[in-house]
Chain A
């Protein structure tokens, strides 16, 4: 059977670092990029005698996420220890949630080429991150150093059911989930710094089969591109194995970025026996009705709902609405501007075009924008009225972007206002027609393509400031159309 006769089956396990100021079981900072072992204390160093104390904010964030994904938030969940030895794991165990996680059974709707698809979320659980081992081969004899700044950073693991059917769906799921978490304010969505990362469980089965094949786990995929490449490679590899009469082994594999392949990290035979058992140093985790209700009340409108509303309320096409709602600050800013304009589609064009170009080029976050929504509204109204040309308005926006000055001031100072005075435009039109009598003859003889030449000449003479509507109107009149 060729590849096309097989169906890929994918489930994702997403690890999201929660946006708390302090770690999950101690008061140390979670700030990124500090000197090694700077953000540590006896608790996160796993010194003898230390005990964990739960950061309540972590619970709030998990409940918030669970509610946003339509999960059942469990009134009581349980902490467990996952035991294994590794130098970056200070206590010799990780505190995590095992058989009784804080949230269960939700869903996430994604768009696929064949329409909407609902992906089931099996569970959300909380755990602490481990530290980082740094292997320094250059030191004499080679050294391994341990940085425990990340040890105890709060993580939320969101596990999907194996409902995804190809790499594109997996990427879409990951993007939509990331947008939701960022919207909720619980995660920064930063794949590069590892605060949002993903493992993929991939298997293949003959099309039409209802029995899943043996799966492999692909670890630590830290970009959308790697996720797609790794799944596609892995699915093809598994089909090859089956085609050649082999058997897919259950194992953990790594994506080798340089070679573009997945390779085995450990097999089932040397898989860990983590010896999970309930963490005796922590009481069961109780989520009170009050906490749950408070989170439910403060849930923001989520990207998908906002997108639908933008299409209805502002008459925007789906494409525009999706881009505008992908990030909450952008959507909020759009709405603030929309209050000041009459044509939301035109506003959207500015957002998708000039504004996004400026943001990208200047590397400015939305939060640092210097101009106000009212000022952008004013600029659009000026274009509408014909006071400035669309081209000139781009310059004005650029200046607003850099300085925050009012559009009227910029237009006045740069002399960008369009000439809409009939007498002034008529004089130029007359002059151009007089200077180009030959072309006028041709036009009148039926060579209509010359028209553009006249417009260009008039605009050139007026240094681009002629009101295009008026120029057209007068030209046509003089040419006898």
Chain B
């Protein structure tokens, strides 16, 4: 019973919880059992909060009993990327420097999930401070792709994606700074949505690059993704960049299809470096959209070629500042034998941060330095404006853009660890969307010969998440990717 229970989508489980065919405690126990079973292989979890999850499940069942569920997903257990602060539960952001840090408060989105009654199963692995595209930058261990344990699940929300794909959790939250939700979703046959910047509160989400970071839902189906988004998309007075807009209704109209929609195909997104199998799958998907009644339009985003450099300058600049607070003075790890203040700083940070984090701090510090600011940071900001304008122009012609999520399917663990530049190239299709603050979604669109998932990316106008989900759902309805059994 429990193995099939964990195969349900969030909304399927919610329906069974509503009719009391299944209790939240049963579902939570099933998830915990599944974690015990597969996580030694997948290694998605940094910490499992069994007691906390079961307590929340009991409370949920009591609410069902009294006929007053807190939300449509009350009682559906989910997991959290370890970037979200959880009161009383250790939060490390995948870093040694925060080892032992137990936050005194909940992130806004964590509070919202708790209020909606979702049991939280624990904290999921990630690249340290969300810097990385393979989960190999985690200070603890790499997570494995459930579709092929020798491969990466992507990053930095790779733990979340792997846990969702491996049926360890019904859904999860991730964060996306340059593609960190969408790329792992594409690698693991799951759906991941990066909402419009400002749609979901960043309060209590450990900052990587403040102007790019955005939390978002990760799930196995488009409808689950929509349902999860509706719980967390709120204006938050604690986040000054949070948009004061109404929570979108993404479930109504989800089945309306793509007939009459104009879908832009950015020619710069179909480049030489793309894996032929990925390209083939994508071309087939585009044909399918046409068959379903959408019109494909060739569009150009001419500044795309500068996006990667722009992204790494801006993200690293902001990160170098955001990570300054990890100095060993107030929380987390502190160097043991430091003598004097300067030694305390350099040893704490030297021991606490991993190579990728150090690389970006150095890059960002350099880019912001007096004498280089104009040449790097300021110029990157100007290019960012041009990239944003590319999208604005494109959306005058089309309703959404479709492209590959990643140029390649999940690669082997260890393959790119020593080559940061080729790792950065994993994000070429995803990060322009973060620079422009737009919503973006990755939906499964097929498998390679070797059985590796391929993702299709859909980008939209600001706050147009409902339409992206509708387009993704039209595609999903034609396939059974979600039902395909994961080998692990």
Contact = CB atoms under 8 A, between A and B. Distances in A.
Interface of A: 42, 45-54, 81, 83, 85, 87, 90-93, 144, 146, 273, 275-277, 280-283
A90 B210 contact: no
Interface of B: 85, 91, 93, 98, 101, 103-105, 107, 202-207, 209-211, 237-241, 317-318, 320-321, 323-327, 329-331, 341, 345, 365, 368-370, 373, 377
A48 B85 CA distance: 8
A280 B210 contact: yes
A275 B365 CA distance: 8
A90 B331 CA distance: 11
**Interface-central residue, A42, A47, A93, by most chain B CB under 10 Å:** A47
B298 to A, nearest CB: 34
Contact of B240 (A53, A276, A277): A53
B377 A49 contact: no
Contacts of A87: 327, 329, 341
Given A90-B330, A92-B325, A283 B241 contact: yes
A71 B31 CA distance: 63
Nearest to A275: B368
A319 to B, nearest CB: 50
Nearest to B105: A42
Contacts of B207: 48-49, 281
Q: Closest 10 A-B residue pairs measured CB to CB?
A: A92-B324, A280-B210, A275-B368, A280-B211, A49-B204, A48-B206, A49-B85, A46-B325, A92-B325, A91-B325
A44 to B, nearest CB: 12
A91 B324 contact: yes
A275 B104 contact: no
Given A51-B239, A81-B321, A85-B345, A45 B330 contact: yes
Contacts of B318: 277, 280
A373 B425 CA distance: 79
A45 B104 CA distance: 11
Contacts of B239: 51, 53
Contacts, number: 99
B370 A49 contact: no
Main SS of the interface on chain B?
loop
A33 to B, nearest CB: 23
Contacts of A282: 240-241
Given A53-B240, A83-B324, 15 more contacts: A42-B104, A46-B325, A49-B203, A49-B204, A49-B206, A50-B203, A51-B202, A51-B239, A54-B240, A85-B327, A87-B341, A273-B369, A275-B368, A276-B368, A281-B240
Contacts of A280: 209-211, 241, 318
Contacts of A47: 85, 103-105, 331
Given A85-B324, A273-B370, A51 B365 contact: no
A277 B327 contact: no
A57 to B, nearest CB: 16
A284 to B, nearest CB: 11
16 contacts: A46-B330, A48-B98, A48-B326, A49-B107, A49-B207, A53-B239, A83-B320, A87-B341, A92-B327, A275-B320, A275-B369, A276-B368, A277-B317, A277-B368, A277-B377, A280-B318
A46 B330 CA distance: 9
**Interface-central residue, B210, B321, B341, B365, by most chain A CB under 10 Å:** B321
Contacts of B331: 47-48
A270 to B, nearest CB: 12
A277 B321 contact: yes
A146 B329 contact: yes
Contacts of A283: 240-241
Nearest to B239: A51
Contacts of B320: 83, 275
B321 A48 contact: no
Contacts of B325: 46, 48, 90-92
B88 to A, nearest CB: 14
Contacts of A92: 321, 323-325, 327
A91 B237 CA distance: 21
Nearest to A273: B370
**Interface-central residue, B317, B325, B341, by most chain A CB under 10 Å:** B325
A178 B324 CA distance: 36
A48 B93 contact: yes
Nearest to A85: B345
Nearest to B213: A280
A48 B101 contact: yes
Nearest to B346: A85
Contact of B91 (A48, A54, A281): A48
Contacts of A144: 341
A463 B211 CA distance: 84
Contacts of A90: 325, 330
Contacts of A50: 203-204
Given A45-B330, A83-B324, A275-B321, A51 B238 contact: yes
**Interface-central residue, A45, A48, A280, by most chain B CB under 10 Å:** A48
A278 to B, nearest CB: 8
A46 B321 CA distance: 12
Nearest to A53: B240
B210 A281 contact: yes
Contacts of B101: 48
A93 B318 CA distance: 12
A21 B320 CA distance: 33
A143 to B, nearest CB: 13
Contacts of A54: 240
A52 B373 contact: no
B175 to A, nearest CB: 11
A302 B324 CA distance: 44
Contacts of B240: 51-54, 281-283
A334 B451 CA distance: 90
A42 B330 CA distance: 11
Contacts of A146: 329-330
A50 B206 CA distance: 8
A49 B325 CA distance: 11
A146 B341 CA distance: 13
A146 B328 CA distance: 13
A45 B103 CA distance: 12
A53 B324 contact: no
